[in-house]
Amino acid sequence: MRPSQAELGSVLLLILPSLLFLSDPLCAQQEVQAEIRGEVRVGTEPMAVGTVVLHQVSEDASGEIDSVSVAADGSFVLPLPHVPDHASRPEIFFASVEYGGLLYFGPAVTEAFQLDSLYLIQAFDTVSAPPGGATLPLSARNIFLEKIEAGWMATDVFELRNDGTHTLYSPDEGIVWRYPLPASVTDFQVGQADMAPDVVRLEEGELTVYSPLPPGDRYLMVRYRIAEDDFVVPMPGETDRMEVLVQEPAPPAEFYPLQLSDPVELEPGNAFRRYAGDSLVNAEVRSEIAPEPWSLPAEWLGLLMAGLLGAAGVAAYRLRARKEADVPGPAVGGTERDRVLLRIAELDQAFDALELPSEKQRQEYRTARDSLLTKLKRLS
């Protein structure tokens, strides 16, 4: 069975980690045979019957270029058109085998030194996933959050684990694995994954996978928008390690039951606040942004201070007046004229305490003072 373009795309994601190995300059100088020597196993046993297909991916073309049958002990030898050298000729070789109706792939070969090792293609017997999808534990989950005006942008990275010895698949091409996402998720996108992007979907608020899942860990990244500031992350089943990483700057927040941990800086100037938890079972992470501390608007603060200063001035004036009234001497009396003078003094002191009086305040002050002065003239 020939792999589809989607399957070839997923293969590249599966085998790219092997590109991280660097060749030893001394080994690269040794003469090597332009061939892949390998073995196909089903579980722990060699596959005695089958065909191994060689694929080549380069800037110019990609596809099958050769095939050979496996020996009774599962071994095979695939000739290459030349010794690989990724620096001078960017290309990838890899091999595949079909078993039980599914395709299994070996690692990428890009350098000469890789031809010195046994090339292993691991296949497995299959088992049907239960209707609606299987429940699998997560080895790790990391949610990167970026605060936006209304809610968050989330990059959600799953490392799901098949602890069994069989490949999970759906014989009717249904859901193999499903997992709930936070409510109000929009703008869903599939990022890098160990599977073709078209087999990963958002359906009725759940992340669904239609791809077969062999034993071991599988990596999956999706991106979406959460429309609410406070939200809940459902986490059914077992999760070995859970982290929420909030890109700075962001408001103070809690992600219960995760604990605030050491921050991380993925690159200079790109810092993340980190919340982490281990060995979670049927948990849910609750996000809650801390309320902003209450503050009085600047204009109201100015008026309040002016009022307080004015009141303090009036109180001081009255206290002084009472003290002077207790001093022996001519009586200054509590006449109507004295009371008008006191009111004028209080009015002047309160107005002087205003740093930037408004036009309305000025007009009210002048009107009240003119009225008191008119009354004072009548009493003189």
Residue 5 has pLDDT above 60, yes or no: no
Q: What is the mean pLDDT of the chain?
A: 83
Query: Given this model, what pLDDT does residue 261 score?
Result: 92
Summarised one tens digit per residue, pLDDT across range 92-122 is: 999 999 999 999 999 999 999 999 999 999 9
- Output the pLDDT for position 310: 58
The whole-number pLDDT of residue 352 equals: 76
């087999």: which residue's tokens? Answer: 199
Tell me which amino acid residue 96 is.
S
State the pLDDT at residue 22: 37
Per-residue pLDDT reduced to its tens digit, 150-201:
899 999 999 999 999 999 999 888 999 999 999 989 999 999 888 888 999 9
Q: What is the reported pLDDT for 23? A: 39
Cα of 311 vs its chain's centroid, Å: 54
pLDDT at 59: 86
Helix, strand, coil in percent for the chain, rounding step 5: 25, 45, 30
- Mean pLDDT computed over 314-342: 55
Distance in angstroms (rounded) separating the CA atoms of residues 129 and 60 = 39
Q: What is the mean pLDDT of residues 308-324?
A: 56
Higher pLDDT, 236 or 59: 236
Q: Which domains does the chain have, with CATH numbers?
A: 5-123 (2.60.40.10), 138-289 (2.60.40.1730), 298-379 (no CATH)
d(CA 282, CA 316): 67
pTM of this prediction exceeds 0.75: no
3-state secondary structure of 315: helix
pLDDT digit string, tens, across residues 213-231 = 999 999 999 999 999 999 9
Degrees to nearest 5, angle at CA 97 with 94 and 100 = 150
Q: Is 359 helix (H, G, I), strand (E, B) or coil?
A: helix
* Angle at CA of residue 193, ends 189 and 198, nearest 5°: 55
In percent, the amount of the chain with pLDDT more than 90 equals 58
Mapping DSSP to helix (H, G, I), strand (E, B) and coil, where does residue 103 land? strand
pLDDT tens-digit profile of 287-300? Answer: 998 765 544 455 55
Task: Indicate if the pLDDT at residue 12 is higher than 70.
Answer: no
pLDDT at 313: 57
| Residue 317 neighbours by CB distance under 10 Å | 15
Rounded mean pLDDT of 230-259? 95
pLDDT at 61: 80
Over residues 340-365, the mean pLDDT reads 76
Would the pLDDT of 60 be above 50? yes
Q: What percent of the chain has pLDDT over 70?
A: 78
Mean pLDDT of all residues in 335-347: 72
